[in-house]
Copies of this chain bind each other. A is one copy, B any other.
Amino acid sequence: MDFLTEFKPLTVQPEQIEEKSFQMIDEEIGEHPFTPEQYRVAQRVIHASADFELGKSMLFHPKAIEAGIQAIRSGKKVVADVQMIQSGANKTRIEKYGGEIKVYISDPDVMKEAKRLNTTRAIISMRKAIKEADGGIYAIGNAPTALLELIRLIKEGEAKPGLIIGMPVGFVSAAESKEELAKLDVPFITNIGRKGGSTVTVAALNAISILADRV
């Protein structure tokens, strides 16, 4: 490859790179089960992972998109299980409507309580979140234990999230936690299997805030 040719992409602007990527996804995805708005979310997840298998394995509660848009527009809090999601997400669009992204996992009271109960900080962070951010969007991309605890709190009638974006990754409990989420009749966005993670959770959250911010 010629050196100059090879560096042509350097002159492409970020917006153009994104547009070109979305075109490539449109061309390659083939058949999929999504509504046009659900596809906006799946497309952004595929963009963030370069993984069609992951994107096409996504599951949407019928009210997920509407509930997510509503939560953003009414300035509800967004709760992330880990700091990476807070770092990666577009905060401007969330703050524009009065919302903010909260992460409770490293709060001193959460750490202390987790130690006292000999359990994970992720679990205790969800117990704190439902007190401070119920009705908000829960973006869980890392800890299956956080998602399982949130599901338990919902089943016990203690939590009423606006939308759950539950896409934890991993070998222990991740796939199982998402299966349990998909059984609930609450607005959720999730995926089947072990894959997931902070970057795709950010992508789904950003897609929702973009939909909310459209006129």
Contacts and interface: CB of A to CB of B under 8 A. Distances in A.
Interface of A: 1, 3, 6-7, 9-14, 17, 20-21, 24-25, 47-51, 82-84, 86-88, 118-120, 123, 144-145, 148-149, 152, 155, 169-174, 176, 180, 193-199, 202
Contact of A199 (B83, B84, B174, B180): B84
A197 B195 contact: no
Contact of A24 (B12, B169, B171): B171
A169 B48 contact: yes
B9 A173 contact: yes
Given A83-B87, A87-B83, A199-B197, A50 B174 contact: yes
Given A48-B197, A84-B84, A197-B199, A171 B10 contact: no
A176 B86 contact: no
